[in-house]
Amino acid sequence: MIRPVFANTADYRTRQALILRGGTGRVSLPVRVGLIDHPTHGAVLIDGGCGPRLTKGPGRSLALRLYSWLLHPVIREDSSPMALLAAKGRTAADVQTILVTHFHADHISYLRDFPNARFVTDGPVRGGLRHGIFPALLPDDFAQRQIDLRSFPQAALPFGLGAGYDVFGDGTVLAVPLPGHAAGHYGLCFPGDDPLLYAVDVQWLLAGILQDRAPGFPASLLADDTTAAHESIALVRAFAQAGGTVVLCHDPAPTPFDWAPPDV
Ligand SMILES: [Zn+2]
């Protein structure tokens, strides 16, 4: 049975009302990246996190600078994918596979640091700057290294999630299309005694799913497809109600799968 471990690559501060209907006050949101230790595929990353290419460094496009200025994420370089890998005795060069759940900037900013990885996506890069997608963050040869998850064998998912795709052909990691938030957005199901669903950006907070408190306008403007987004939320809610464990990218509540760098 495989379970991921997550590092928090950055913090966003925002008003809770923007991300949770009826929310009050301000909240600090993490940006998780995941690491899977697979017996034959080795170190596998889930997403490329939020890194300094978003916030500093020469050659950033005006759009990227504007995005960074609007959201001003605080990058936690001591909790980068490379720091997480180092803590597990690996390097960026060891990573052969990265599961890219979608192309929003805060999920892809370290991808250029992985020269040997192939990128598993649900379809090609779609959308554009209006949807928070910045091609400059992708490796120049991204298209050549991209693999469509729909080329993997189909597999039944637990707790009513329907059918997914068996990423490694051994039933350990199953990709779950969860459209709506962004084009090609997908989650990852880890079956076993206590099935786990990493539902990524289906919502910001678990309460938005479990208590049906997904925010409306203006957050709805960010969705790629509002109808599909609501269907994906309902699917994840049913999974949780059936007893599954759900983890999201940006929910600040600690999970048993979170890793933190040692204090120095
Ligand atoms: Zn996103």
**Tens of pLDDT, residue by residue, the chain (264 residues):** 999 999 999 999 888 888 889 999 999 999 999 999 999 999 999 999 999 988 887 777 777 787 777 778 999 999 999 999 999 999 999 999 999 999 988 999 999 999 999 999 998 876 665 666 788 889 999 999 999 999 999 999 999 999 999 999 999 999 999 999 888 999 999 999 999 999 999 999 999 999 999 887 777 777 788 899 999 999 999 999 999 999 999 999 999 999 999 876
Q: Rounded to whole angstroms, how far apart are CA atoms 139 and 115?
A: 9
Q: How remote is the CA of residue 108 from the centroid of ligand 1, in Å?
A: 10
- Look at residue 209 and give its three-state secondary structure: helix
pTM: 0.94
CA 264 to centroid of ligand 1, rounded, Å: 32
Distance from residue 263's CA to the centre of ligand 1 (Å): 29
For residue 156, report the distance from its CA to the centre of ligand 1, in Å: 26
- What's the 213 CA to ligand 1 centre distance in angstroms? 18
| 104 CA from centroid of ligand 1 (Å) | 5
106 vs 132: CA distance, rounded Å: 9
What the chain holds in terms of domains, given with CATH numbers, is: 5-248 (3.60.15.10)
User: Cα of 192 to ligand 1 centre, how many Å?
Assistant: 27
How many angstroms is it from 50 CA to the middle of ligand 1?
11
